[in-house]
Structure 1
């Protein structure tokens, strides 16, 4: 008979790598949003709150996804 825990190992590895990919994607989105917000501010003098908020939320979600990947072993 097979051990039921043997099926959990590949799933845990898949979840960990998926969390790493999602976390890195969110942090990349954060960088893009803040770059756009800074460019809008430089060109117009108006602070782009929508881009900054999306960047902030994306940074938090990316950080949480990377924390999940680190804890999921």
Structure 2
């Protein structure tokens, strides 16, 4: 007798790898936004709030995606 959940295993693995890729991409975007915001602040003395907010949101989404990938079965 076969397990009815066995065809879902490749789909679950694909979702997990996509979550890992999305999480890493979000964290990379967050790092780029923080670097740009810091460089703007250093050069002009004005805080680039939009880049900082995008970086913060992207970092939270990246961490959430990586945490979900870790617990996905």
TM > 0.5 fold call: yes
Q: Which residue of 1 aligns with 2:70?
A: 70
Equivalences for 1:1-73 in 2 at 5 Å? Answer: 2-73=2-73
Structure 2 alignment gaps of length 5 or more: none
How far 1:6 moved relative to its partner?
1.2
How far 1:33 moved relative to its partner?
0.1
Q: What is the number of equivalent residue pairs in this alignment?
A: 73
- CA RMSD of superposed structures (Å): 1.1
How far 1:2 moved relative to its partner?
4.8
Distance 1:52 1:6 in 2: 44
Structure 1 alignment gaps of length 5 or more: none
Greater helix proportion: 1
Q: Which runs of 4+ in 1 moved over 3 A?
A: none
